[in-house]
Amino acid sequence: MATYPLPKFHFKVSFGDTEFNCTEVSGLDFEAEMIEYRGGADTEYHKTKQPGLRKYSNITLKRGTFADKSKEFYTQWVKTVYFQEGEEQYRGDLTISMLDEKHEPIVSWKAERAYLTKIQSTDLKADGNEIAIETAEFVHEKLSLL
């Protein structure tokens, strides 16, 4: 059996129980801040470096604008998630999974207690021929690999 790198175009995204299609996902970053320390009684004149708090980037999702799905996106996400209106909880787990050729998850990222912080509608251009893209940005408390 040949070993090969995974393609980055086959993935799925879910927020709570809702699964939706995206064209692009970015911000799956892990970073540990560095703490520099030097004790006052150290005989050597340099600092030691130790791992500090963990830091995570916001996760940005991009998707195409559809005539039948965009109304749902704006009414459900903007009202219940962004403005925190309605019965639904506005925080949830955002899961992004890279899939194999059998549509099974190979690598998954779980952003815990994520919520929507920014929605960007498509830009409009009379002489353009690109598809309309909606952007949603999520903040979260912790990112882990599953």
Determine the average pLDDT of the residues in 39-58. Answer: 88
| Within a domain: 74 | yes
Q: What are phi and psi of 92, to 5 degrees?
A: -170, 180
* Total domains in the fold of the chain: 1
CATH number for the domain spanning 103: value is 2.30.110.20
Q: Picking from 33-42, 55-64, 107-116, 136-145, which range would have the lowest pLDDT averaged per residue?
A: 33-42
**Residue 105 has what pLDDT?**
93
| Within a domain: 111 | yes
| Within a domain: 40 | no
| Within a domain: 139 | yes
**Residue 6 has what pLDDT?**
80
Domain extent, residue 84, equals: 11-35+49-145
pLDDT band of residue 96 (cuts 50, 70, 90) is very high
Residue 20: is it exposed, middle or buried by C-beta count within 10 angstroms (0-12/13-18/19+)?
middle
Is the per-residue pLDDT at 2 higher than 80?
Answer: no
| Within a domain: 44 | no
Is the per-residue pLDDT at 115 higher than 80?
Answer: yes
| Within a domain: 1 | no
